[in-house]
Amino acid sequence: MEKNSDLLILGGDQRYLEVINQLASKGLHIVLAGFDQMAFSHPNISNQKVDQVDFGQIDAILLPLNGTGAGGVVEAVYTDEAVALSPDMLKRTPDHCIVYTGISNEYLDKAVDQAGRKLVRLIARDDVAILNSIPTAEAVLKIAIEETDYTIHGSNVIVLGFGRTGVTLARLFSAVGANVFVAARKDSDFARITEMGLHPVHLDHLVDYISDIDICINTVPHMLLKEAILSKMPVSALIIDIASKPGGTDFSFAEEKGIKTIHALGLPGKTAPKTAGEIISNVLFKLL
């Protein structure tokens, strides 16, 4: 992609303000839709409404990291109007147009496929996911401190999942003195968890450990914290679920039992938008 090519940024949150300014300063022409409440002075930035965009001139599209809803609507916090990506919009783009998102769903996969365009999931990339795990873990620690009446130091904390974010979470909570358990499935993960001085737990045996847990952090986007598990969890426990919707917790049963649960989504954009925006812009510029 040439530096003077057009990138359409369709919706987004606070971290995308950093993305916009960073990429515009590097020579890209940025077309915005879903930012009508904002003013931009850089000559490389064109702020429009969706129906004003000439999709025939768009070389790449950046969607919010949480992708689209089931009907194509995207998160756009800087407008009161609904902003959506339709299959027709994609079909009007040049053949070389690439769509960048964080995560995808059936609607977006189908729309991109029907248009014959390429879809890149940024969160699937190690560079984005690992770097993004740093502000995510710091945000989870902030929530844990604010939502408990005891110190994290000495608390029993369990992290569900040992992916790129799970590793960072386990390391950070251990560094501040928590007694960290990590639930996973792979033997290689158990070996690494042990090497880190933490306590490995098989996800199938979670019920045997949960009664002693003060803080449970879920990173797995599958239903793990079901009624059978939650029934064994102390009422005083805190659950922080950072898995994408619908999460991995039976929130209704947890509420019924009186367990405090927080479904914390988009944490880097809320607590460290500048850093999160820099991560996205740096990786996206290399890809473009």
For the chain of 288 residues, list the mean pLDDT of each consecutive stretch of 10: 74 95 95 96 95 95 94 95 95 97 95 96 94 96 97 98 97 98 97 98 96 97 95 97 94 96 92 93 93
Q: Does some domain include residue 105?
A: yes
Nearest to 203 by CA among 172, 193, 238: 193
Q: Does some domain include residue 15?
A: yes
Total-model pTM: 0.86
- For the chain, state the CA radius of gyration: 21
Q: Does some domain include residue 144?
A: yes
Co-location of 171 and 134 in the same domain: yes
Co-location of 96 and 183 in the same domain: no
Q: Does some domain include residue 278?
A: no
Where a domain ends, among 88, 107, 124? 124
Q: Does some domain include residue 288?
A: no
Co-location of 140 and 260 in the same domain: yes
Q: Give rounded-to-5 percent helix, strand, coil for the chain.
A: 40, 20, 40
Co-location of 91 and 147 in the same domain: no
pLDDT at 4: 54
Name, in order, each residue with C-beta under 8 angstroms of 136's C-beta and a sequence gap of 6 or more: 165, 168, 169, 242, 267, 268
Co-location of 258 and 139 in the same domain: yes
Co-location of 134 and 109 in the same domain: no
Amino acid letter for position 94: P
- Structural domain that includes position 232: 128-269
Where a domain ends, among 124, 157, 190? 124
- Residues 84-104 have pLDDT tens digits of 999 999 999 999 999 999 999
pLDDT at 172: 98
Q: Report CA dihedral (66, 226, 210, 177) to the nearest 10 degrees.
A: 10
CATH number of the domain residue 94 falls in: 3.40.50.720
Task: Return the HEC string of 231-268.
Answer: CCCCCCCEEEECCCCCCCECHHHHHHHCCEEEECCCHH
Query: What's the structural domain count of the chain?
Result: 2
Co-location of 118 and 144 in the same domain: no
Q: Does some domain include residue 186?
A: yes
Co-location of 233 and 249 in the same domain: yes
Q: Does some domain include residue 142?
A: yes
pLDDT at 2: 47
Within the chain, strands assigned E span 6-10, 29-33, 45-48, 60-62, 98-101, 118-121, 156-160, 179-184, 199-202, 215-218, 238-241, 260-263
Co-location of 262 and 146 in the same domain: yes
Residue 153: strand, helix, or coil: coil
Co-location of 85 and 199 in the same domain: no
CB atoms within 10 A of CB 176: 15
Q: Which two tokens stand for residue 193?
A: 């968890």
Co-location of 153 and 262 in the same domain: yes
Q: Please give the Cα distance from 262 to 241 (Å, whole number).
A: 6
Q: Does some domain include residue 95?
A: yes
Name, in order, each residue with C-beta under 8 angstroms of 163's C-beta and a sequence gap of 6 or more: 129, 219
Co-location of 97 and 132 in the same domain: no
Where a domain ends, among 61, 94, 124? 124
